[in-house]
Chains A and B, each alone.
Chain A
């Protein structure tokens, strides 16, 4: 049973490749893809609630003897099965959305999506560092190819190259780290390495192999300064694919870091609190940088991508608190975020499908003929701003409770307000025509930038197969929050987080008044930021600070340069700094 979520999509992918000559039977292929991802989601949903097993599954039946694992293990807990289930659910929604999105796709799109799904689930469930790496790579290779899905344009190929090279550099370092730890411990099984690390004093080898192993994951989860590729890749990847990149793939990187820390390296790093502080600082930095870039962006897909970077920082901060409550908050926040962010990308996809552009300036007021999409997009944007009862508010509330540091709470709140406010600015401008219409020169520039649509012909109606997934994801974002407010559900989530960390669950998680107040304040602040963004020109105080649309901040563009060499250099520099800091802590 636990092997099926990986194997079923793989077999389906092989079948669809063999069926390439039958590509004219498009709907059959679509059905196979939708059915497969739906079935995987169901199996994983079943695995979350399976309580009668220890969660270990040994492939080919090679159980460990005398504490030595010779085979490969899947370790299934509620958190990782839940994350994989989130990925499969998102995949199902995306496959339904794509039903009428591409006019002629052959079978390659389906094949790559299915291998991507298998990679995600395998990565989540693996209890073996090398096996985890294999599925991580399968996910990566599929993602690079999906990003370059429209190679007739220069953008997708460049974005995919950025993505592939920066992530491959990270993956090589991950493999180096695995080799290092294997060279000393002779083990690849996480529990076995963890036991070895626990028995030995902290050492350079353990510290640096931890650092190298998480490098690939830091790149994938777009933590500053490893984040540059993400916006470039999201801007050019097909919009349905972005749903999975933003909603799940980035979060999988963070899950990998948490897994490596709690299952393998945590005890060996000794001074846990200080290591946590390092990650907390990284998370807060990422949240701030993502929010600032988000605010100045006018390309809707890039804007959403920067908001993902900002949120990834918040998730990392939740993990870095090293408490069950912080981790449970991050997990809940990831789920809530995945649904609303997925909805936002699908909304952007519908806009691109109908209006042939994702440029906020050009689109100003033109979205008024898409009323349903507008309402759903705005609702999802409010969800992104932590409005209760969206799942995001409670997740953020738990992180705040766990942080017990007003400064962190305030900074993260400000980041959410700015990034979600930018999305609300898009919603208000595009779908309701609020704010000042763009000046003539801006409009000209926007039209020059207008990208060709991903679909063949702009349609007169939005098909139901596109609107339904958008609506479902938005509702799911609400449902996550409402479910988690139930004391049984929140206790179960907290217990799952404690189990993941191997810690006793102590503090009961409640819906505190403060989390509701913070959520409402956050949404209110985001609306204010959105309106301020729309009426910026009438507010001289703000104009003196920053002129939007002028692309004036040369410094910001100099960092986000689009040059792969720069991106890799920043990643290596970040890695060297992290290595120095960790060395100072361990010594």
Chain B
């Protein structure tokens, strides 16, 4: 199809689809008129059943915890898939460093202190907030996903401060892989423990505590949230690291190839031969 034909067909089809969607949306309840039974039931039962005041977390990690397991593994798989897709491109760069233009890094301006200082200043608080988010799912609508992303962004701040080597030292691929595996596997194993105790999979087998919303209440909810936090932090660190490495490879080819040996993931021989 030519660009023009495609555009015409797409516009007509989209108009048809939009009409269908409009027809469907006309059957939706009005704004604010939630008709479903799910919300009221959960609001009524959640605190009594789980001792978690973060009802969203109770749904995420208890009522519908099995969905969350799947979602966590989608991220896990995406990170593994990214490593697969990017590893070879990196290998190609490494084989032909001579064709890269020699860049003299000493002539380039370093990271400005105006960026460096705030980035490093914020790193500590970001870690703290991430940790707090990941470990307080039972108390409020936080949880492992938000906490994990925040933790990973603390490492991104380290990079922003111009410390790529420090970024890599803080997150060697072997470590991120292990943490990712521990986080993802840990969640699945918590469910298995319930099974071993003769309960249904992912049953909340840990004592729920007495005070709703306190740090020790909620049973498996904070535990699962913690493991999700580990997995998400490691997966995002891995993803950010892979993309940063790609960018650096393209920008300063030789610089990175000569130092790639301390990063096990960047060695193509560890993955697959040509």
Query: If A60-B204, A71-B64, A209-B24 touch, does A573 touch B13 (CB 8 Å cutoff)?
Result: yes
Does B236 count as interface, using CB distance less than 8 angstroms? no
Q: Are B1 and A148 in contact (CB under 8 A)?
A: no
Query: If A10-B69, A576-B16, A579-B20 touch, does A115 touch B76 (CB 8 Å cutoff)?
Result: yes
Chain A 563-582 interface mask (CB, 8 Å, partner B; 1/0): 10110010011011101100
Does A204 count as interface, using CB distance less than 8 angstroms? yes
Q: Are B271 and A151 in contact (CB under 8 A)?
A: no
Instruction: Mark out the residues of chain A between 102 and 118 whose CB falls within 8 Å of any chain B CB in the assembled complex.
Output: 102-106, 108, 111-112, 115, 118
In the bound complex, CA of A59 to CA of B82 (Å): 31
Query: If A60-B62, A106-B272 touch, does A151 touch B24 (CB 8 Å cutoff)?
Result: no
Instruction: List the A side residues contacting B71 at CB < 8 Å.
Output: 134
Q: Are A145 and B13 in contact (CB under 8 A)?
A: no
Query: If A21-B264, A106-B270 touch, does A148 touch B201 (CB 8 Å cutoff)?
Result: no
Query: If A106-B270, A141-B74 touch, does A17 touch B80 (CB 8 Å cutoff)?
Result: yes
Does B168 count as interface, using CB distance less than 8 angstroms? no
Does B148 count as interface, using CB distance less than 8 angstroms? no
Q: Are B84 and A204 in contact (CB under 8 A)?
A: no
Does B35 count as interface, using CB distance less than 8 angstroms? yes
Chain B 66-85 interface mask (CB, 8 Å, partner A; 1/0): 11011101101110111111
Does A535 count as interface, using CB distance less than 8 angstroms? no
In the bound complex, CA of A108 to CA of B9 (Å): 41
Q: Are A569 and B181 in contact (CB under 8 A)?
A: no
Q: Which among B38, B65, B274 has the highest number of chain A CB atoms within 10 Å?
A: B38
Does B94 count as interface, using CB distance less than 8 angstroms? no
- Of the residues A62, A104, A184, A558, contact of B272 by C-beta under 8 Å: A104
Instruction: List the B side residues contacting A191 at CB < 8 Å.
Output: none
Instruction: List the A side residues contacting B274 at CB < 8 Å.
Output: 152, 456
Instruction: Mark out the residues of chain B between 14 and 34 whose CB falls within 8 Å of any chain A CB in the assembled complex.
Output: 14-17, 19-21, 23-29, 34
Closest to B86 in A: A151
- Of the residues A130, A145, A566, A576, contact of B85 by C-beta under 8 Å: A145
Query: If A152-B91, A211-B20 touch, does A565 touch B6 (CB 8 Å cutoff)?
Result: yes
Closest to B183 in A: A14
Does A57 count as interface, using CB distance less than 8 angstroms? yes
Closest to B75 in A: A141
Q: Are B273 and A14 in contact (CB under 8 A)?
A: no
Does B182 count as interface, using CB distance less than 8 angstroms? yes
Q: Are A145 and B81 in contact (CB under 8 A)?
A: yes
Chain A interfacial residues counted at CB < 8 A: 85
Does B242 count as interface, using CB distance less than 8 angstroms? no
Q: Are A137 and B74 in contact (CB under 8 A)?
A: yes
In the bound complex, CA of A151 to CA of B86 (Å): 8
Query: If A187-B37, A211-B20 touch, does A11 touch B185 (CB 8 Å cutoff)?
Result: yes
Prevailing SS type, chain A contact patch: helix
Prevailing SS type, chain B contact patch: helix
Q: Are B13 and A112 in contact (CB under 8 A)?
A: no
Q: Are A580 and B16 in contact (CB under 8 A)?
A: yes
Query: If A157-B85, A204-B23, A577-B16 touch, does A60 touch B42 (CB 8 Å cutoff)?
Result: no
Q: Are B24 and A180 in contact (CB under 8 A)?
A: yes
Chain A 192-205 interface mask (CB, 8 Å, partner B; 1/0): 00000000000111
Q: Are A186 and B184 in contact (CB under 8 A)?
A: no
Chain A 12-28 interface mask (CB, 8 Å, partner B; 1/0): 01110110110100000
Q: Are A21 and B174 in contact (CB under 8 A)?
A: yes
Q: Give the distance to chain A from B222, nearest Cβ to Cβ, in Å.
A: 15
Closest to A149 in B: B84
Does B45 count as interface, using CB distance less than 8 angstroms? yes
Q: Which among B70, B184, B192 has the highest number of chain A CB atoms within 10 Å?
A: B70
Q: Give the distance to chain B from A140, nearest Cβ to Cβ, in Å.
A: 9
Q: Are B203 and A3 in contact (CB under 8 A)?
A: no
Query: If A203-B27, A209-B24, A572-B17 touch, does A72 touch B73 (CB 8 Å cutoff)?
Result: no
Q: Given A21-B264, A71-B64, A187-B38, 17 other A-B contacts at CB below 8 A?
A: A7-B191, A14-B184, A15-B181, A18-B182, A59-B202, A60-B62, A60-B204, A70-B41, A111-B80, A131-B67, A141-B81, A180-B25, A186-B38, A204-B23, A204-B26, A205-B27, A569-B10
Binding site for A on B (CB under 8 A): 1, 6, 9-10, 12-17, 19-21, 23-29, 34-39, 41-42, 45, 62-67, 69-71, 73-74, 76-78, 80-89, 91-92, 174, 177-178, 180-182, 184-185, 188-189, 191-192, 194-195, 199-204, 264, 269-274
Nearest first, the 10 A-B pairs at minimum CB distance are: A186-B36, A145-B81, A205-B27, A576-B16, A14-B185, A208-B24, A18-B181, A3-B201, A134-B70, A579-B20
